[in-house]
Structure 1
Amino acid sequence: MGRPNEEVEALLKEYADLIAITHGDAFKARVYEKAARAIGGHPRDVSQLDAAELRDIPGVGKSIAEKVVEYFRTGRITAVEETRAKIPAGVRELITIPTLGPKKAMTLYEDLHISSVSELADAIQAEKLRDLKGFGEKTEQNILHGIALLQQAGGRILLSMAMEQAEEVVAQLSQVTGCQSCTYAGSLRRMKETIGDIDILVAARRSAPFMDALSELPATAETIAHGEKKTSIRTTKGLQIDLRVLPPDSWGAGLQYFTGSKAHNIRTRTIAVRQGLKLSEYGLFETESGKSIASRSEEDVYARLGLPWIPPTLREDRGEVQAGVRGELPELVTEQDIRGDLHTHTDLTDGLAPLEEMVEAAAERGYAYYAITDHAPNLYMQRMTDEKILAQGERVRELDGKHHRMRLLHGTELNIGPEGELDWPDDFLAGFDLCVASVHSHFNLSRKAMTRRLVRACENPHVNVIGHPTTRLIGKRPGIDADLDEVFAACARTGTALEVNAQPDRLDLCDEDILRAKEYGAKFVIDTDAHSVLHLAFLRYGVGTAQRGWLTKDDVINTWPLGRLRRFLSGGRAA
């Protein structure tokens, strides 16, 4: 679904997995993984580049460039298809399970003749895996959790992928003659982390032109249903889009109704019934007379129910209606409130762009401040050294203030070791403007050990932020097993901010965890964890997640003026 770059990224990542499964060269597999990441984050559309231009992308050599050109010329990569043919279909099914790597999948196939997800689940229940080398009870539990994640995800896709498709369709339908309004609704408008299908609404007096236009879009692979009030299509990427055309006078009621959630709508309809009214997608009506009393705007509908307009990101029946009745709805943080990004990477470690390009891109976003936080040395594959990070710090100071008066902060993303230890000693850490500390390994510690590990990191006076606190990857890796309530309490006590990581496959903390952490009085930071210039735009997804967690500007430290932020970072936790 997404940009051609993302299609190639997914294909090259698959090829790296296939190389691993077939016991190929491990170095070659890593080369393809790195190239996939570089292409995915490249700012230009790679389908428009020739082989020479592709080789200018870091990590893309002659062979990989030729494969990319082949893909856009023929729709396939011969080497990938030939390697796929060597892999039994059953193994390819097994590697779709989060937490199950390609080598273990091949072992299961070769040793136990397991070739499907259901067969694997049965084998685990029968305790057949425990005699295999590298498998045990903990591995079984992880695989079962991965199967549950796979089943739960079903046909759902990441918020970012759905948003890209929806905005493209909205832009195209908005050009159709007669369109008065057009937008997306449903769970996408509520900014849920994954989306099942996309709801598009149009306000117009005639529906037929829009129904026909949707069916004729270049991205449409199949028309599932074509009607006067609703048309459903499946895109070339397999995503379902449902279009409804509403009378302009019903726009507000329809937008409220189709945004949902179901539980929120039940709550609002109950209020309507108690007032002798009926609420539907066409408007708010008097039950006895059928007279329409509100429908043109959402604000009108909510006001007539005795409520303020409720932001879509809150519409989950988690107390928003009751808060509205009491006049206690929060003024949610917005993307415009964010003054700077405090967790980003450059090509000094695993980023794709040099420091200067990342800084320039941040300045173009109008930030007041911006932090560079490359990985510390205990993430060994990044090959960080004291000398490299100190030299980067000097360069940051040279650039500071030269980009539209945007101030630069030099930081690092530390690794939280199994015992809560960090990469550098305290005297070295004191030289950074801020330190983000994150878990990157040892995901399977006991609950007690994992909790102690995170709390100890919070208690280090040089740690300002706990990065992607649960380490989850949506649909791929479950969050770590820790007593998050104890961690949240420690963050509040020590003045350590919790990150809302805006990477679409993380969104970590998630909305429900944010709600819990806020109850303890913890502060938050919304970061992109950007590894390329393009990633800086992911901020919108972090803000949406923060809104779903009811966060305000005061809760989020990177909405604060630089002076207040610096006091927080230096230990003035009341700030």
Structure 2
Amino acid sequence: MARSNDEVAALLQEYADLISLTGGDAFKARVYEKAARALGAHPVDVSTLDVDQLKEIPNVGRSIAEKVVEYFSTGRIAAVEELRERVPAGVRQLTAIPTLGPKKALVLHRELGISTVDELEDAIAQERLRDLKGFGPRTEAKILHGIRLLRSFGDRVLIDVALELAEDIVVALSRVPGCERCAYAGSLRRARETIGDVDILAAATEPGPVMRAFTALPDVREVVAGGDKKTSVRTAQGLQVDLRVVPPDAWGAAMQYFTGSKAHNIRVRELAVRQKLKLSEYGLFDVESGVRIVSETEEEVYARLGLPWIPPPLREDRGEIEAGLRGELPALLQESDLRGDLHTHTDLTDGLAPLEEMAAAAAARGHAYYAVTDHGPDMAMQRMTAERMLAQRARLRALEGTYGGMRLLHGVELNIGPDGEVDWPAEFLADFDVCVASVHSHFDQDRATMTRRLIRACENPHVHIIGHPTTRLIGRRHGVDADLDAVFEACARTGTALEINSHPDRLDLRDEDIVRARRHGVRFAVDSDAHAVTHLANLRFGVGMAQRGWLTADDVVNAWPLSRLRRFLDKGRARTAD
């Protein structure tokens, strides 16, 4: 996805927020929110489009198209600048708190003069909010929860933002004469869900040209520190990027050294010390003689220490060293193992592209099967009816065979209600190929109630997959409070798979939860939850999370051949018969 799409999408989303803050038309704000989503997910770089071409994008009218062209022509949108001047900067800062809406932020500023997160926290401690209409103890608790969430995220960014930047840098530096190799390392290579600093490694005999090319990159806004071995910069996105240049013959040792977590690297160095060796970014050395033994590849470094090569997502000191010494490291799931996608949306509900475009894009990715799972009627804003869903099914069946050998599956994303019930009666659900059930509301239920709610959904014989199981939004919403081990046990007992939602702001289940669920015998589905063509590529992030959870292809139902998947999906009908 083009970065310019993200830039203008963020600006239009800000405009929508500013409209709300200034008491503007709620419908107009919603129009700009929809346009922001559409532009951010558009597969073509929108900076290359004119007004008429932009108008062809769903939810983008002439006025919005003209603002987009204005931004790429001048670097600003006058209407946004005008509204920014009407809203105090402090109010905009408060809206960064996930649980605080723009209207409440404006009230806090006008009535109490609050302009910073620290001031708000102090005001809550002094119970000053309670004299304001609509601000009681429960609201205070929610705001404090949002402040903790905001601070826990800190200066980190989601993995997709960091990865796009890192890949651009690697491509640019790889073109520099004398740069023999270049790759990203660190937490990004380990597929962490959020990234603080981006680590780039390059191999070159002469580091100077690589360093100069690095600091001259278009995204660089500040050189934090410079040198022949390491240079740190800050980018336009606010990310710090560290570049290290090592001799070509030290590449493997450097990649090992700068990829693993601190805990993993300590364990590896302990293995080296016990063998009277010393490990650094330049190689594995004999302590007594100082002779370098191996350094060119990671495989050589690990092998000399008695270990197989350890995949980067496992390098967290969570048992990978012991498993490696025993020869029991798993053959981790690869993106190429996935044969299909079982959770996607079209413009029938809240997706941005029609069924045909989504299916064609899925086929282009080489999928053997592809499920469309638009929302059921309990998501009232989507205006779903049985008639509309059956019409989609007929349309999908008519398209069968259109996309080469890819099979089309008709599914639904059901809403798990507060009591665990789902949309539509059993007789209607029985005719879907696949049913994903997800929690979309009532996130603050107590632990016992939420646990019963999820288990009841698992026990529904027509539910095949629990979608985004904890409902978390990284940096914006913590997962629900539930006894996950009880839910995992119910999934294993009923043969219900748990989703690893690949959207970068969800990545739900978390890696720690995946490890626990696998021990219960749970199966998983790595899905994109795509709402646009570009979102289908998010599967790479779900695979990274699955790898961090030690999953193999056998653990993931959409890595199975269609015949085996159908047997899994037919279990629901078997349970109904029982």
| DSSP 3-state at the match of 1:419 | coil
Question: Equivalences for 1:265-280 in 2 at 5 Å?
Answer: 265-280=265-280
Q: Distance in 2 between matches of 1:19 and 1:122?
A: 28
Residue of structure 1 equivalent to 2:139:
139
For residues 110-150 of structure 1, what are the alpha-carbon distances to aligned partners after superposition, in whole Å with 9 as ceiling and x for unaligned? 33332210111122223333444333333323222221221
Most deviating of 532-541 and 440-449: 440-449
Question: Equivalences for 1:203-282 in 2 at 5 Å?
Answer: 203-282=203-282
| DSSP 3-state at the match of 2:370 | strand
CA apart distance, 1:350: 1.0
For residues 493-522 of structure 1, what are the alpha-carbon distances to aligned partners after superposition, in whole Å with 9 as ceiling and x for unaligned? 111111100001111111111111112111
Query: Residues 331 and 507 (structure 1 numbering): CA distance in 2 closer, same or farther, change over 3 Å?
Result: same
Q: Distance in 2 between matches of 1:403 and 1:254?
A: 45
Residue of structure 1 equivalent to 2:331:
331
Q: 2:151 aligned with 1:151, yes or no?
A: yes
Q: Are the aligned partners of 1:2 and 1:164 in contact in 2 as well (CA < 8 Å)? A: no
Q: Distance in 2 between matches of 1:537 and 1:543?
A: 11
Residue of structure 2 equivalent to 1:490:
490
Q: Are the aligned partners of 1:235 and 1:241 in contact in 2 as well (CA < 8 Å)? A: yes
In percent, how many aligned pairs have the same letter? 69
Q: Distance in 2 between matches of 1:137 and 1:564?
A: 52
Q: Distance in 1 between matches of 2:501 and 2:447?
A: 23
Residue of structure 2 equivalent to 1:314:
314
Q: Distance in 2 between matches of 1:362 and 1:338?
A: 12
Query: Residues 309 and 255 (structure 1 numbering): CA distance in 2 closer, same or farther, change over 3 Å?
Result: same
Residue of structure 1 equivalent to 2:518:
518
Q: Distance in 2 between matches of 1:505 and 1:564?
A: 31
- TM-score if structure 1 supplies the norm length? 0.98
For residues 360-382 of structure 1, what are the alpha-carbon distances to aligned partners after superposition, in whole Å with 9 as ceiling and x for unaligned? 11111111111000111111111
| DSSP 3-state at the match of 1:404 | coil
CA apart distance, 1:203: 1.1
Q: Report how many aligned residue pairs link the two structures.
A: 575
Residue of structure 1 equivalent to 2:178:
178
Q: 2:59 aligned with 1:59, yes or no?
A: yes
CA apart distance, 1:236: 2.2
Q: Distance in 2 between matches of 1:225 and 1:416?
A: 51
Amino acid corresponding to residue 398 of structure 2 in structure 1: E
| DSSP 3-state at the match of 1:180 | strand
Q: Are the aligned partners of 2:377 and 2:385 in contact in 1 as well (CA < 8 Å)? A: yes
Amino acid corresponding to residue 70 of structure 1 in structure 2: E
Query: Residues 2 and 197 (structure 1 numbering): CA distance in 2 closer, same or farther, change over 3 Å?
Result: farther
Q: Distance in 2 between matches of 1:173 and 1:187?
A: 20
Q: Are the aligned partners of 2:461 and 2:573 in contact in 1 as well (CA < 8 Å)? A: no
Q: 2:367 aligned with 1:367, yes or no?
A: yes
Q: Distance in 1 between matches of 2:496 and 2:110?
A: 48
Q: Are the aligned partners of 1:313 and 1:548 in contact in 2 as well (CA < 8 Å)? A: yes
For residues 9-33 of structure 1, what are the alpha-carbon distances to aligned partners after superposition, in whole Å with 9 as ceiling and x for unaligned? 1111111111112221111111111
CA apart distance, 1:541: 0.4
Most deviating of 525-534 and 440-449: 440-449
Query: Residues 281 and 385 (structure 1 numbering): CA distance in 2 closer, same or farther, change over 3 Å?
Result: same
Q: CA RMSD in A?
A: 1.5
Q: Distance in 1 between matches of 2:112 and 2:443?
A: 27
Q: Distance in 2 between matches of 1:329 and 1:7?
A: 42
Q: Distance in 1 between matches of 2:488 and 2:185?
A: 33
| DSSP 3-state at the match of 1:181 | strand
CA apart distance, 1:8: 1.1
Q: Are the aligned partners of 1:491 and 1:498 in contact in 2 as well (CA < 8 Å)? A: yes
Q: Are the aligned partners of 2:368 and 2:562 in contact in 1 as well (CA < 8 Å)? A: yes
Q: 2:100 aligned with 1:100, yes or no?
A: yes
Q: Distance in 2 between matches of 1:111 and 1:424?
A: 47
Q: 2:392 aligned with 1:392, yes or no?
A: yes
Q: Are the aligned partners of 2:202 and 2:245 in contact in 1 as well (CA < 8 Å)? A: yes
Q: Distance in 2 between matches of 1:348 and 1:380?
A: 13
| DSSP 3-state at the match of 2:221 | strand
Q: Are the aligned partners of 1:527 and 1:542 in contact in 2 as well (CA < 8 Å)? A: yes
Q: Distance in 1 between matches of 2:459 and 2:402?
A: 35
Q: 2:90 aligned with 1:90, yes or no?
A: yes
Residue of structure 1 equivalent to 2:425:
425
Q: Are the aligned partners of 1:495 and 1:573 in contact in 2 as well (CA < 8 Å)? A: no
CA apart distance, 1:2: 6.0
Q: 2:403 aligned with 1:403, yes or no?
A: yes
Q: Distance in 1 between matches of 2:164 and 2:2?
A: 7
Amino acid corresponding to residue 427 of structure 2 in structure 1: D
CA apart distance, 1:391: 0.5
Q: Are the aligned partners of 2:464 and 2:572 in contact in 1 as well (CA < 8 Å)? A: no
CA apart distance, 1:572: 6.9
Q: 2:62 aligned with 1:80, yes or no?
A: no
Amino acid corresponding to residue 312 of structure 2 in structure 1: P
Amino acid corresponding to residue 267 of structure 2 in structure 1: R
Question: Equivalences for 1:444-523 in 2 at 5 Å?
Answer: 444-523=444-523
For residues 228-259 of structure 1, what are the alpha-carbon distances to aligned partners after superposition, in whole Å with 9 as ceiling and x for unaligned? 11111222222211111111111000000011
Q: Distance in 2 between matches of 1:381 and 1:548?
A: 36
Amino acid corresponding to residue 513 of structure 2 in structure 1: D
CA apart distance, 1:426: 0.8
Amino acid corresponding to residue 100 of structure 1 in structure 2: L
Q: Are the aligned partners of 1:358 and 1:532 in contact in 2 as well (CA < 8 Å)? A: yes
For residues 459-498 of structure 1, what are the alpha-carbon distances to aligned partners after superposition, in whole Å with 9 as ceiling and x for unaligned? 1111111111111111112211222122111111111111
Query: Residues 470 and 13 (structure 1 numbering): CA distance in 2 closer, same or farther, change over 3 Å?
Result: same
Q: Distance in 1 between matches of 2:180 and 2:95?
A: 47
Q: Distance in 2 between matches of 1:303 and 1:336?
A: 26
Amino acid corresponding to residue 364 of structure 1 in structure 2: A
Amino acid corresponding to residue 127 of structure 2 in structure 1: E
| DSSP 3-state at the match of 2:381 | helix
Amino acid corresponding to residue 436 of structure 1 in structure 2: V
Q: Are the aligned partners of 2:500 and 2:527 in contact in 1 as well (CA < 8 Å)? A: yes
CA apart distance, 1:542: 0.4
Q: Are the aligned partners of 1:2 and 1:161 in contact in 2 as well (CA < 8 Å)? A: no
Amino acid corresponding to residue 86 of structure 1 in structure 2: R
Q: Distance in 2 between matches of 1:196 and 1:525?
A: 28
Structure 1: tracts of 5 or more residues without a match? none
Most deviating of 149-158 and 328-337: 149-158
| DSSP 3-state at the match of 1:374 | strand
Q: Distance in 1 between matches of 2:573 and 2:547?
A: 23
Q: Distance in 2 between matches of 1:363 and 1:160?
A: 23
Q: Distance in 1 between matches of 2:130 and 2:307?
A: 58
Q: Distance in 1 between matches of 2:264 and 2:142?
A: 35
